[in-house]
Structure 1
């Protein structure tokens, strides 16, 4: 019996050692699969992060281009605004000058009409027109200053 119990115990040990070897192989195989799976997952994660970084870099470049375009348009618009503002200043000055000339001419006409200076109405307008033309021609040479005191001159 001793021999049969020894034999059965040896056979059990062989079975156990075979089972442990199989179990160890199975665990090693699972461990390798897990390592391979982890490596593949890490590789996919690195690729995702690289793609995100590339997408963000592309957006940075796109926003930089859009920003440059906006700055260019803003500078162009500012320049147009400054040009128009300068033109408006010139037009305001011309308007003030023309208003002053009109006032001077109206004063001349009022003076001529009031005194009638020995001339008929048509002659008065002719004199006023000559004075205005003379004023217009001379104003280009004298910084476009209106003639002041024309009514006093005509009186003498």
Structure 2
């Protein structure tokens, strides 16, 4: 009975609109309205997707440009680093050579200062063992001080 009353209310509703043709026209209008609304919604959705795609393309271009700038800076910094490293290598070699020279000079001074005899000759002092005859032009005994040098004294 509930089923028949439900159907009867639908039938009454349909009857209130008029004939079946009127009902069909009404349903067609609703269908067209729904289709139009769906088309507009789909169009808005496509527009949103297109805008999102355009934004992503713009972001990709911006990131590519930024990446290129970073790569350029890295290349410049790498070249600078290589130049500094080469210069450091040259300076290390020069420092080694100068250290060896300084050590040789200090060895000579130590040898001169540790010799046993001091011989007098024409009011000049000569220091050294019998194998070494080294004249002191200042008429003084050599002081026991190492020779100090800085790298900027030896500019090539």
Deviation per residue, 1:58-115 (Å, 9 max, x gap): 112112211221221122122112212211210210110121122123323434xx23
The alpha carbon displacement at 1:16 in A equals 0.8
The alignment covers a number of residue pairs equal to 117
Please list, as runs of the form range in 1=range in 2, the aligned pairs for 1:108-127 lying within 5 A after superposition: 108-111=112-115, 114-119=116-121, 123-124=125-126, 127=135
C-alpha separation in 1, matches of 2:89 and 2:104:
23
Contact kept in structure 1, 2:119 and 2:125, CA below 8 Å = no
Q: Give me the TM-score of the superposition, normalised by structure 1.
A: 0.63
After the TM superposition, which segments of 4 or more aligned residues of structure 1 sit over 6 Å from their partners?
A: none
Q: Which has the higher contact order (CA 8 A, sep 6+)?
A: 1
Indicate the SS of the match to 1:117: strand
Q: Give me the TM-score of the superposition, normalised by structure 2.
A: 0.63
**Unmatched 5+ stretches in structure 1:** 1-11, 131-156
Choose from 66, 87, 94 the match for 2:70: 66
C-alpha separation in 2, matches of 1:71 and 1:34:
55
Indicate the SS of the match to 2:120: coil
RMSD after superposition: 2.8
C-alpha separation in 2, matches of 1:38 and 1:73:
52
C-alpha separation in 2, matches of 1:89 and 1:24:
95
Deviation per residue, 1:17-60 (Å, 9 max, x gap): 01101210220121012112101211210110120121122112
Counterpart in the other structure of 1:54:
58
More strand by share: 2
C-alpha separation in 2, matches of 1:116 and 1:50:
96
More helix by share: 1
